[in-house]
Amino acid sequence: MKRILSYNVNGIRSAVSKGLLNFFAEVNPDIICIQETKAQPGQLHEADFQKLGYYCSAFSAEKKGYSGVAVYSRQQPDLVVAGMENAKYDSEGRVIRADFGDISVISAYFPSGTTGDVRQAFKMEFLADFHDYVNKLRKTRKNLVISGDYNICRLWIDIHNPEKQQNTSGFLPEEREWFAKFVDDGYVDSFREINNEAYQYSWWSYRAGARANNKGWRIDYNMVTASLKDKILDARILPQAIHSDHCPVLVDMDF
């Protein structure tokens, strides 16, 4: 079994100061996909993760203190590819891929559209281009685990009060339509293969009481290609981990 954990830490230095390393020592993932590192090389607690037995592969944004993704793994990757060969997104440090044998693990941080029309348009462009990127990759690397913060609630049950949220970025009809097409194209939502219950969230606003009252959104995923669907052993959300406004999501795979 291999345990893959995805976590938007909203700043890795901040999360480490809140006990992140102890949490990883307890949960013991084989591969950790991190989003929103908000850090540059040398600031990613590489030495601390090395002491825990992890290799560090990271891709930082050009802008300091912004975005950034990483893959920490117990096994040294055969190959690491930073970015998706598109400077528009790669300058923001949004995608990194690590290959392990015939499995490729991607840590992805999808753009948010909450700041207005310009970034929402950027997000929709990213969705189309990312879909093309993974489809092209799948021709040579058919076994993909695509972990990360997608910044979209996929289903009606993935968000609190869905009736009132349909004009909100992250739950717009066109975003959910993209996700439906993505799933139809052979990408499997590992968590929903295991758990069909409502009120299962991975992000909560910092506004008063949102997390305590579980008024959340499920926007973090471990998606896998259909070729790996039968390898899913378990998938969980870990809301008890409080190092960020997100919480970790994990999948156990029969690798």
Residues known to be catalytic: 149
Contact 51, 24 (CB under 8 A): no
CA dihedral 119, 215, 205, 241 (to 10 degrees): -120
Q: For the chain, how many residues are written?
A: 255
Cβ neighbour number for residue 38 with a 10 Å cutoff: 23
Q: How far apart are CA 207 and CA 211, in angstroms?
A: 8
Q: Which string of DSSP letters, residue by residue, matches 132-175?
A: HHHHHHHTT--EEEEEEE-----SGGGBSSGGG-TTSTTS-HHH
How far is C-alpha 133 from the geometric centre of its chain's CA atoms?
A: 16
- Beta strands (DSSP E) in the chain are 2-8, 31-35, 55-59, 69-73, 79-82, 95-100, 103-109, 143-149, 187-189, 203-204, 216-217, 220-225, 232-237, 249-253
Q: How far apart are CA 73 and CA 129, in angstroms?
A: 27
Q: How far apart are CA 42 and CA 44, in angstroms?
A: 6
